[in-house]
Amino acid sequence: MLRCDLMLCAQGVIRDVQTNNISVFNIFAEITPEGFPILVQQLSIYARFQRDVQNDPSNYEFILRMNIAERTLFEHTVNVDFQDKAMNNTIINLQGLVVPTPGELQASLWHDENQLNQYLIQVHEPRQVTTETHSS
């Protein structure tokens, strides 16, 4: 049976070609902007898929959706080829995502209208900017 047992969003995800090891840096857990809208300049989504080699096909098509406040910000079809293996590491790199409002930013992976996994990033209200002036 097909499953996505790990999913996360970070500033960067790298796969070593020789070892197939994954390195992840700057995992997004929450964002506190100065104001809205905000631009997340680099966003990498990592998903690890598992399948039954004996019973499941080798190629799949998934939908990646990015939503906030019931609004779809991004939707993209992702083709995954297991190449006769049981596990697949998929990395999706977005070079800019505009987030218009605070809320729960949800990255989710779908197959045949079934949600396989999701990752949530809390986007907070803008922080208060304080200024100081000094006379001399």
Domains of the chain: 3-123 (2.60.40)
- The whole-angstrom separation of Cα 14 and Cα 2 is 24
pLDDT at 119 (0 to 100): 98
Dmax of the chain from CA atoms? 78
Tokens matching residue 20: 């197939």
Please identify every stretch of the chain with a pLDDT value under 50, giving residue numbers as ranges.
none
Q: pLDDT digit string (tens) for 54-68?
A: 999 999 999 999 999
pLDDT at 135 (0 to 100): 77
Helix (H) or strand (E) holding 103, with range, is strand 103-111
Instruction: Please tell me the pTM assigned to this model.
Output: 0.89
pLDDT at 132 (0 to 100): 78
pLDDT at 53 (0 to 100): 94
